[in-house]
Amino acid sequence: MTAPTTSELFAATAPGLESIALGELKRHGVKGKAEPGGVSYRGDAKTLYSTSLWLRTASRIVVRIARFHASTFHELERRAKQVPWADYLPASATVRLRVTCRKSRLYHSDAVGQRILGAIAKVAPGITVAEGQSLEGDPDHEASADAESGTMAQLFIVRIVDDQCEISADTSGELLHRRGYRQEVGKAPLRETLAAAMVLASGWRAPEPLIDPLCGSGTIPIEAALLARGIAPGIGRKFAFMNWPAFDETVWDRVHADARAASWEGSGLEIIGADRDSGGIDAARRNAERAGVAHDIRFVTQALSATLEELEGERRPGWVLTNPPYGVRVGDTYGLRNLYATLGSKAKSTADWRLGILTSDAALSRQMGLPMRARFSTSNGGIPVAFVAQERLLAAKVPLRNRGVKGKIDGR
C-alpha cells in the first residue's frame, strides 16, 4: 500500500460463495459489499494482511489500483502510464497479466496487454513477462503454473467493459485455497475453500460432533478443525504483497502474532473422517498433521454403511457433512442411488443429527427422501454443484440409548 489511507480491496470467490465471504468479513469487523464473483471492501495495510490470513472462502484478494475510460489505444496508453505500477513491483519482477475485454471498442485482449506491459516497462524496465502467459486465460491455472515453477509472478488483472478499464493488483500470489497442508489428494479432490464454505454454511459449531463418512484426503474434517480451533487458514503461507516495496513488516508481524494468539490448543473436538480407501485415510492423516490438527480428528478406514451405523441411537446434535461421488467423474449414477439412499435412511434414524452434502444431481439428492434446502450453488472442478442441507431436525423416533460416536469410530 502506498499510504496509510484506505484502498479498495476485492476478495474474489467462486460464484455462489459471495455471501459466505461477506459473512466472514463481517465477523472480523470489516464492512463489505457482495458483488458477482466476490466481495468489495475498503481497508489499509492491516486490513489487507488480516483478511488475507483469515478468509476461508476467498480465492484471492486484489487491490483495485486504477479505473478510467479507454475507447482508443492512445487513451489507454496515456492513462496506463499514470498507474502507480512501481508500488506493486519489486526491483526485479516477473509480471503476469490477465486481460478481458467485453462490449468495448478495445476488444483485442492481446493488443491491450501489449500496451499495458509497455506502460509497466516505463517504470520498471527490468521486468520479465511470465512465460506461457495467456492474456485471457484462467487465472487459477496461471497461479498454479507459477507455484510449480517456483516463480512468484505479480499478477495484474485488466478488465475493459463498456469502455471502462479497471486494473487490479493481485495481493495473494498462490490462490488462497493453497493453505499448504494438502500435499496429497485422492480422486475428485475438493478445494479447501469449498470445504470451508460447506462447514460455514451448514451452521455447525464445535463442540457438536461432525462426521465425514466419505472423507477422501480429509479436506472437510481438516477445514472444520481449523475453524473450531480458531486457526487462520493462511497462517503458514506467503503472499504476493510481501514483495511490494511498501510492505510494512512491522504491521505484518503484529497481525501475524495476533492470528497465532487467537488459536487454542484445547481438546474436546469430535471430528471424524472415514473412508473405505485405506490409502486415502493415510493421506488424510498426513494432511491433518501438516495442518496442525492431527490430534483433533479421528480417521478410520471403514465403509459408509458401517460408519453411519454408529450413529443409530445417537441423541446429541451433530452433523454429517460429506462430498459424495456425483456420477460424473467418479462412479455412475445408477450405482450411486443406494449410496444416497443409505445416507438418507441413516439420517432419518438419528433425530438430532443433520445431513449436508455437495451434489451435482438433484435426482440423486431425492433418493435420500429428506427435506433438503440448497445453501449455495457453485462449481467444483468445472461441474455445477449445490450444497444442500436439512432445513430442520427430523422428528424421528430413536432408541432410548446413547451409544455415543466417540469411542465407537476409532481407526487408531
Spatial separation of the C-alpha atoms in residues 295 and 289, rounded to whole Å: 8
Q: DSSP assignment of 256-303, as one string?
A: HHHHHHH--------EEEEES-HHHHHHHHHHHHHHT-GGGEEEEE--
**Around 56, how many Cα atoms within 13 Å sit in the side-chain half-sphere?**
28
Q: Is the pLDDT of residue 250 over 80?
A: yes
Closest CA to 119 of 77, 168, 88, 90: 77
326 or 324: which carries more pLDDT confidence?
A: 324
The pLDDT score that the predictor gives to residue 409 is: 29
**Fold for the domain defined by 7-170:** VC0802-like (3.30.2130)
Q: What is the mean pLDDT of residues 246-273?
A: 93
Q: Is the pLDDT of residue 49 over 80?
A: yes
Q: Around Cβ 158, how many Cβ atoms within 10 Å? A: 22
**Around 324, how many Cα atoms within 13 Å sit in the side-chain half-sphere?**
28
Q: What is the mean pLDDT of residues 287-309?
A: 94
Answer for the pair 57, 196: CB distance below 8 angstroms, yes or no.
yes
Q: Is the pLDDT of residue 145 over 90?
A: no
User: Where do the domains of the chain lie?
Assistant: 7-170, 192-232+265-390
311 or 263: which carries more pLDDT confidence?
A: 263
Answer for the pair 53, 61: CB distance below 8 angstroms, yes or no.
no
CATH of 192-232+265-390, one of 3.40.50.150, 3.30.1490.100, 3.40.50.300, 1.10.3720.10: 3.40.50.150
The pLDDT score that the predictor gives to residue 96 is: 94
The pLDDT score that the predictor gives to residue 116 is: 97
Domains 7-170 and 192-232+265-390 are alike in CATH topology? no
Spatial separation of the C-alpha atoms in residues 88 and 155, rounded to whole Å: 10
Q: What is the mean pLDDT of residues 110-131?
A: 90
Rg for the chain, CA atoms, rounded: 23
The pLDDT score that the predictor gives to residue 210 is: 96
pLDDT band at 91 (very low <50, low <70, confident <90, very high): confident
The pLDDT score that the predictor gives to residue 317 is: 87
Spatial separation of the C-alpha atoms in residues 209 and 405, rounded to whole Å: 8
Query: Whole-model pTM?
Result: 0.88
Which of 107-111, 251-255, 319-323, 380-384 shows the lowest mean pLDDT across its residues?
A: 380-384
